[in-house]
Amino acid sequence: MMSIKNYVNNLSDEDLKRIYKKMLMIRKCEEHLGEATKNGAFPGAVHLYIGQEAIAVPLCDQLNDSDWISSTHRGHGHFIAKGGDVKKMMAEIYGKSTGICGGKGGSMHVADFKKGIIGANGVVAGGMGLAVGAALASKMDGNGAVSIIFFGDGAANQGVLMEAMNICSLWNLPMIFMCENNQYSEFTHTSEVTSGKIVDRAEPFGIPKYEVDGNNAVDVWQAAYQAVQRGRNDEGPSFIEAHTYRQRGHVEFEYTFLSRTYRDQNEVELWKTNDKDPILRLESYFIEHNKYSGDDIEKIQKEVQDEVDDAVKFAIESPEPDITSAMEHMIER
């Protein structure tokens, strides 16, 4: 088994425990949504972040509210990792008035600008320009804030990525390109639709590149640390490709409309094992190094589950939006 923590100097056990707990929060929120969608508990479709938690959390753990993130249709994890309110996120997905966007955005548009969360995005690579614009603003403000675009291997094939890398490198913007390569572009294996290595696309732009095991929180933290420091010190953009695996489908419930399977179930199961799953790997590390006992982990699991249950209860019990709100916020007259 790959060691989770073999060369870390600047990451304490406390840091790792905090990261673990937040990863668990994402996992349990997503597990709930995966189950609840079967009962039609909320109106829209959800794209779950299960298996990719070790990417958003170790990076966002190093950010504060003045830093910006822009993310993807698989954006619940980024929202939570950046400090978004779990109750308000859950209520948003349930389409309720108490949701972070008043029930007008839903799963694919959870955002909280006060926390630097520009939001999830329903367009693949759609957040790219937004993150670059925020990076430009931070650069002009000279406040040391950084801007992160989370995007997938699918978005890596959008032309706007090249435009973004060019301009960020040219203007030395405090931007981090965080590519989460989860191996599937919707329902197609990325190798079938992608030439070359994604991380290498940073090279001709002179952008420092990091390739990491995206299921290893420590690896991600280290690369993110380099990238964040570069941004804060006005040294320009960085590109990280984090290799991971999408344990769930592109979208929940996909087999109700797909005519055939597109991947082997054994492959999926492999990535759920102790050696591969990012959360199980952290737990193994804690136990092996006597940082946590099995009981400790069980206790934390329960704490987190209780918090998720509260958020779900809050979402379910919250009122529907007032229909007058449908006519608000489009344009300021």
Residue whose pair of structure tokens reads 């199980």 in the numeric block: 280
**Number of other CB atoms surrounding residue 320 within 10 Å:** 10
Q: Which residues ranging from 140 to 159 are in contact with other proteins (CB under 8 A)?
A: 140-141, 147, 159
Q: Which is nearer to other proteins, 142 or 264 (CB)?
A: 142
Q: If binding is defined by CB under 8 A, does position 45 make contact with other proteins?
A: no
Q: Which residues ranging from 99 to 118 are in contact with other proteins (CB under 8 A)?
A: 100-102, 104-105, 109, 111-114, 118
Q: Which is nearer to other proteins, 174 or 214 (CB)?
A: 174
Q: What is the distance between the alpha carbons of residues 149 and 202, in angstroms, rounded to a whole number?
A: 14
Q: If binding is defined by CB under 8 A, does position 132 make contact with other proteins?
A: yes
In the complex, the smallest distance separating the C-beta of residue 125 from other proteins, rounded to whole angstroms, is 9
Stretch that binds other proteins, among 6-14, 127-135, 180-188, 287-295 (CB under 8 A): 127-135
Q: Which of 197, 279, 271 is nearest to 241 (CA)?
A: 197
Q: What is the distance between the alpha carbons of residues 34 and 299, in angstroms, rounded to a whole number?
A: 23
Q: What is the distance between the alpha carbons of residues 121 and 126, in angstroms, rounded to a whole number?
A: 6
Q: What is the distance between the alpha carbons of residues 124 and 296, in angstroms, rounded to a whole number?
A: 40
Q: What is the distance between the alpha carbons of residues 294 and 279, in angstroms, rounded to a whole number?
A: 14
Q: If binding is defined by CB under 8 A, does position 135 make contact with other proteins?
A: yes
Q: Which is nearer to other proteins, 306 or 320 (CB)?
A: 320
Q: If binding is defined by CB under 8 A, does position 75 make contact with other proteins?
A: no
Q: Which residues pair with 79 in a beta bridge?
A: none
Residue 320 DSSP symbol:
P
User: How many chain residues bind other proteins (CB under 8 A)?
Assistant: 47
What residue type is assigned to position 318 of the chain? S
Q: If binding is defined by CB under 8 A, does position 333 make contact with other proteins?
A: yes
Q: If binding is defined by CB under 8 A, does position 25 make contact with other proteins?
A: no
Q: Which is nearer to other proteins, 14 or 330 (CB)?
A: 330
Question: At 294, phi and psi to the nearest 5?
Answer: -55, -40
**CB-based contacts of 5-10 (< 8 A; 24+ apart in sequence):** 5/218, 5/285, 5/289, 7/222, 8/218, 8/221, 8/222, 10/225
The answer to whether the CB of 198 falls within 8 A of the CB of 162 is no
Beta strands 68-70 and 175-181, pairing class: unpaired
Q: Which is nearer to other proteins, 272 or 329 (CB)?
A: 329
Q: If binding is defined by CB under 8 A, does position 260 make contact with other proteins?
A: no
Q: If binding is defined by CB under 8 A, does position 167 make contact with other proteins?
A: yes
Q: Which is nearer to other proteins, 2 or 123 (CB)?
A: 123
Q: If binding is defined by CB under 8 A, does position 133 make contact with other proteins?
A: yes
**CB-based contacts of 130-133 (< 8 A; 24+ apart in sequence):** 130/70, 131/68, 131/69, 131/70, 131/164, 131/175, 132/164, 132/167, 132/168, 132/173, 132/175
Q: If binding is defined by CB under 8 A, does position 134 make contact with other proteins?
A: yes
Q: Which is nearer to other proteins, 323 or 331 (CB)?
A: 331
Q: Which residues ranging from 312 to 331 are in contact with other proteins (CB under 8 A)?
A: 325, 328-331
Which of 1, 170, 258, 270 is close enough to bind other proteins by CB under 8 A? 170
Applying CB under 8 A, which residues contact other proteins? 68, 70, 100-102, 104-105, 109, 111-114, 118-119, 121-123, 126, 128-138, 140-141, 147, 159-160, 163-164, 166-167, 170-171, 325, 328-333
